[in-house]
Structure 1
């Protein structure tokens, strides 16, 4: 099918528009944009600078993709946004291009969902199948693994890493890294357990397999110094791919280290401590 471009849209000369694309009224598409086959811009969408949308991506009204990063060091260098196939970007979401402080690219994987008014800051790396619920705020350089879920109103500090299939509860403030399969919760987020439902449904794990991973996480946090705890857990669970994945994540502590493990108190939830 040929592309359809509404007469009230502005598509700059040089933009690459794939077969079957639909560009609705009020949309603005930059000359450096690349839209693969079947992309739909519903209405009043802005693509600025170097934006590459994969096949079947759908962007809803008033979303903006590729505007300059909110970084005072940025001086107009040629950076970009890349979004994978079939991902949906809902109303008023903002996704900023990369900066010179990273590799210059903000990336969102395939089959994801960025809900209304969510913000993806510069140089973020978002995996496949990730869901960012309404009003999620990602600072620059955040990394989120495949099939993770960040619930409404959560705020993720810059350079924080969220592991594969982790879940961040709504309204949480995440200042440190969250293990793969972890469940983070609280005004100052703590690790409140594992995302066991996803582990069983998506990976098909048995109850016993989930318990084994939970024990490994407990030993990792209670095992003393980080390097010693990692070595002890690795020795106790040889050949367990899920445990090895979490330990590899824990070894790469980056700027922030792991979020603390513990019971979420009323104060952690943003209320007054009793």
Structure 2
């Protein structure tokens, strides 16, 4: 079982109709064939927990993570001080990858005077709304967001090497291969505070993936530019603000 959308009950409203129909059918298929399966194999403890919650705790589940043999080596190459990008997000454009909230976070950062560079790997032409959003932000807010397009394995490795950190706002994953790849390249990781993240890596900063402001604040903390908390006054302070 590698598709977490089949087991966690995530809403499908942001997906194209064809995908909504397919996932709904596969969810039905999974639930109705559970009595004919001798065991299930997943890659992470949180995926096992989600599957058992969906189908019943009594089902046999084996946790057996794996990655491609040509994944980044455990000994990451030496990293220099110069980087082409502050942040990289290696992900396709499906709704659960959460690019919309990530781009909104970059808008918030720009409004606070921060414009870190961000590299994306969206397949060119496959996500017109996202590409339009990127172009609008670059034009109106002068944000430094670049779409590198779909990349080969070698090009992704080079992108990791050129980035300062990985940001990973995905909301649903069965494993999260880029998390492992970036970790093996020695990149600090800013990621959603989700179980699947901590199954495989230890991020330096986490955030609520459903909140663009939370994402922006995590980026600012990483950059050493975090904001002070809101100062809480007294009841008299409140009254003076209200009646002045």
Identify the structure with the greater helix proportion: 2
Of the two structures, which has the highest relative contact order with CA contacts closer than 8 Å and spacing of 6 or more?
2
Compute the TM-score of the two structures, normalised by the length of structure 1: 0.19
Identify the structure with the greater strand proportion: 1
Compute the TM-score of the two structures, normalised by the length of structure 2: 0.20
